[in-house]
Amino acid sequence: MSVKDQKELQNYMDFLLPLVLDAGKELLTINSTDDLKVEEKSSPRDLVTLYDKKIEKLLIEKLKENYPDHQFIGEEETADKKNYTPQLTNSPTWIIDPIDGTNNFVKRMPICAISIGLTINKEQVLGIVYNPYANELYTAIKDKGAFLNGKKITTSEVTEIQRSVINYELSLATISTQMCNLYMSRLNYIIGEISGIRSYGCAALGICYVACGRVDAYQADALYSWDVAAATLIAREAGGYIIDSSGKPFDLMKPNVLVASNKKLADQYLERFAKADKEN
């Protein structure tokens, strides 16, 4: 990437950071008795609150003012358009999840985050994931590394599945019987070998935890682009390996994703997942 391109991306980052921090302050003003105005979207497990809508609207409006030619893919904006599937183009595109981990947010659990990724020519080039409750700001620009609160981060050095801790997103098994069978089958193939398992209910943070070495792998199917657009770039810039859960190349717009601290560890998980998938 040229110096000019890097400077442009840094300008985007400098503009976006105050917006994200302000949005985080908005979340911190909420107290335990406030009405979040929770609504169901596609199912009881797919929720949206007043603050999801409010933060996404704020971010998109501010970005559009400064970058009127850019495109936007927002979780709540997409949900409002019935039978609409967003398409990624070569135009600069901001992919926004105003609150990733809405179910945690509704339960007043401080494991949720504002997530914004930027693509140019369909390539991930910038990512921000911010958990205001933990005061943790993850950032990355392509080819410039990944950072947590301004300090460079890297994935763990764990290369053996027996020593690894995985964030295995079991909550997604509730989507359907088919997904339940898939998740439980994969779990059966790894549970006796791994060192530990976690399930945080927030894709953006789960992947960022791989980036900073808190866990060694993350796996989830049936996600959306806004869940992973920022975090997968952050993990990649931290040295992580990102691939489709089936072993195919990772597709941002159809993210079934395995994120691991390195390829050697990813291959061990993929081997076991492949055996499990043959049963489904």
Where in the sequence numbering do the catalytic residues fall? Answer: 75, 97, 99-100, 102, 227
**73 labeled part of a ligand binding site:** no
**100 labeled part of a ligand binding site:** yes
Report the alpha-carbon distance of residue 175 to residue 188 in Å, rounded. 19
Report the alpha-carbon distance of residue 214 to residue 26 in Å, rounded. 27
Q: Helix (H, G, I), strand (E, B), or coil: what is residue 186?
A: helix
Number of H-type helices and E-type strands within the chain: 9, 14
CB atoms within 10 A of CB 243: 19
Q: Positive or negative, the Cα torsion across 129, 132, 134, 139? A: positive
**216 labeled part of a ligand binding site:** no
Q: How far is CA 117 from the centre of its chain?
A: 9
**99 labeled part of a ligand binding site:** yes
**244 labeled part of a ligand binding site:** no
Whole-angstrom CA distances from 104 to 3, 101, 171 are 40, 5, 11
Place of tokens 């950032």: 139
Residue numbering of the annotated binding site: 75, 97, 99-100, 227
Residue numbering of the annotated binding site for Mg(2+): 75, 97, 99-100, 227
